[in-house]
Structure 1
Amino acid sequence: MKRNLWFLTIALLLVLVGCSNKPATSIDGKTDSPKTNQEGTNGDTSEQHDNKDANLTDVALLDYFLPDGSSAHYKGVGNEFAELDITVARPAQDYVVIHENNGGSFVQKVYKLNGDEIQVLQEEHIELDAAVPTTEELESMKPIRTYLKGPIEVGTTFDDWKIVEMDASVETPYQQFEDAVVIEQVGKDFVNRIYLVKDFGEVKRESMMSMEGEEEFVVTSSLETVTQP
């Protein structure tokens, strides 16, 4: 019973991270970092730069997402739902919408930059052919939790997450990253980690569960391919 509940927990964490219903194909020159579009289709850069708290380090918080129009595929290990496809849209200034498909569910996640934090406005199952929300729909959404908060440094906490490491080395099928920010959520018998890299967003998700008398159960989703417009 506990194992089944754990699968649901993993599905909620590993399934809700942005994906598409079609696998992405890799791009040439994996070491080249894509440029981030922080303006959105309504973009006025002056308004973006007015959000001073978003630049508490040399990396703006919105840099921890793939650029508008990107897609990515994640290799899954440990659970059939750990393999993910995502698409990324920036339909309006300060908003990021991620569609994620893990083969069992299709989820829409909506993020908004607000001061020194990225807020999650929506994490809901939707139809495969659902469109990205309109500006009016985005503006009507209310925050449900915090995804990331500045300053980006070890010790920063938000909700039940904490930044535990900077410039971490993480190996993925796509490439080896040496500058990941690691955020961690710790429970009684589980640990969830997300590895964030500038211009790529989440490059790896890791969930570990310890059960008395059993081996540690580990599920990972690691970046494998990236496609940009």
Structure 2
Amino acid sequence: MHFKKTNILLLIIICLLVLSGCARQESPKQVKKGKELEAYFPMEQDLTWQYEGEGNEYASFTRRVMYQEGDRLQIAEDNGGTKVALVYQVGDNEIAKLYSEPEFYTNENILQGPPNMHEVILKGPLEVGTTWQNERFKREIISVNEEVKVPAGNYGQVVKVKITSMELEASGSEQYEYYAENVGLIMREFIIDQEKIVSRLKSMTKTKPLAQIKQATISIEGIPQEFTLNLLDGSPLPFYTYFPSDMVDDRVSSGEGDTFRIMANFSGTKREDALMSIFFYPEGTSTEDAVKFANSLIINNRWEKVNYSEGNTIKQYPWSESEWPFLSQTNNISYLGNIVIGKHRDRVFQVMLYYPEEFSEGFIPRVNKIIDEFTWTDTKTKLTED
């Protein structure tokens, strides 16, 4: 019985990734049609919604309008597990999702690409009893006068939409979306038995887009050289940085935390053994637990600690809580490394360097530039200022 319930919860989580939409508050008796639906789906480029969640690690997410052309807009939705590209169209009497692609980590404009779906997420008239459906979901407006409190504020006359999954209809699960005027989606709910997954609007802001590339000078072996730097946007985690264009990055997210890797790609040859990784521990992890984990990494990989005596290390980075320099020999190659534990507000993170010793003169100046560019978006401060 528990196994079946777990499967149902997994299906609900999948549904969370494909359900999205926005609306505005409405008088219970007033009916809106046609192009006035636009008011229920803010389309201004660079609008960003941040949601905090409970009941599931992916219930917290951010949404950002990347591009807007005519009646279409492209949204990036990031829940920490995957980044989804979504394309919507605002028609005369409906707002429809035309495209959805998970694991979308570029900033490519796909507004004019071919649709891969047509799912109506909001439909006029906005009055109790309006229903519509496709092969996957049935939607119905069940209220236009809800009072809803979320971290972003209190909203009245909220439109409440009930969503029934054709796959989960027999399970007794309930799904709801709540929409407020000129704000859009303010809350989602997934309920089954006594389990509840909720996402609530925390903030809605218009953010200035970060430059995708910038120029910088890095001194390599004492000689200043011009580099193009590429953006690494860590959202929904509160940071970004830039890395040299002769390096490549990737991101891995799991229940154990979020890892960003930046690897050497000198002369077009990717080297996974020459990397800088940035790892964010799960919320609630203590610095002490992170230090224990760093020590276990060194022991399990049989790395040799250096600059270490009586439980202390010589710090290379003023912002660090603890550092664990090490060296290793693998396949007759000498490697150097360092595990650095840091903390921002209540979140513990780890920076790890691992690279062939012969790369030192070129690799470390690049790493130092990445650290210099590292910026916390919630405090507008540099990592080097912590």
Fold match by TM threshold 0.5: yes
Which consecutive residues of structure 1, in runs of 5 or more, have no partner in the other structure?
Answer: 19-32, 34-54, 211-215
For the pair 1:191 / 2:188, whether they are aligned, the reply is no
1:15–1:81: 8 Å Cα contact kept in structure 2? no
Please give the TM-score of this superposition, normalised by the length of structure 1.
0.73
For the pair 1:174 / 2:176, whether they are aligned, the reply is no
- What CA deviation, in whole Å up to 9, does each residue of 1:156-190 have, x standing for no partner? 00100100000211110110111211000233311
Secondary structure of 2:69's aligned partner: coil
| Structure 1 residues 70-219: aligned runs within 5 Å | 70-134=47-111, 136-137=112-113, 140-141=114-115, 143-159=117-133, 160-186=138-164, 187-188=169-170, 189-210=172-193, 216-219=194-197
Return the structure number with greater relative CO, CA threshold 8 A, min gap 6.
1
Count of matched residue pairs: 186
1:74–1:221: 8 Å Cα contact kept in structure 2? yes
1:91–1:132: 8 Å Cα contact kept in structure 2? no
**Whole-Å Cα distance in 2 between the matches of residues 154 and 199 of structure 1?**
20
**Whole-Å Cα distance in 2 between the matches of residues 110 and 175 of structure 1?**
28
**Whole-Å Cα distance in 2 between the matches of residues 98 and 225 of structure 1?**
16
Q: Which amino acid aligns with 1:192?
A: Q
**Whole-Å Cα distance in 1 between the matches of residues 103 and 70 of structure 2?**
23
Please give the TM-score of this superposition, normalised by the length of structure 2.
0.45
Which consecutive residues of structure 2, in runs of 5 or more, have no partner in the other structure?
Answer: 25-31, 208-386
The share of aligned pairs that are identical, in percent, is 25
**Whole-Å Cα distance in 2 between the matches of residues 219 and 84 of structure 1?**
13
Name which of 18, 23, 33 aligns with 1:56.
Answer: 33
**Whole-Å Cα distance in 2 between the matches of residues 107 and 82 of structure 1?**
14
**Whole-Å Cα distance in 2 between the matches of residues 143 and 114 of structure 1?**
15
- RMSD of aligned alpha carbons: 2.3
Q: Which amino acid aligns with 2:122?
A: L
Q: Which amino acid aligns with 1:64?
A: Y
| Structure 1 residues 27-42: aligned runs within 5 Å | none
**Whole-Å Cα distance in 2 between the matches of residues 98 and 13 of structure 1?**
17
1:143 Cα deviation (Å)? 4.3
**Whole-Å Cα distance in 1 between the matches of residues 182 and 98 of structure 2?**
21
- What CA deviation, in whole Å up to 9, does each residue of 1:37-86 have, x standing for no partner? xxxxxxxxxxxxxxxxxx518x8212222332101210101111101111
- Aligned position for 1:227: 205
1:123 Cα deviation (Å)? 2.1
2:37–2:92: 8 Å Cα contact kept in structure 1? no
1:142 Cα deviation (Å)? 5.5
2:85–2:104: 8 Å Cα contact kept in structure 1? no
Q: Which amino acid aligns with 2:11?
A: T
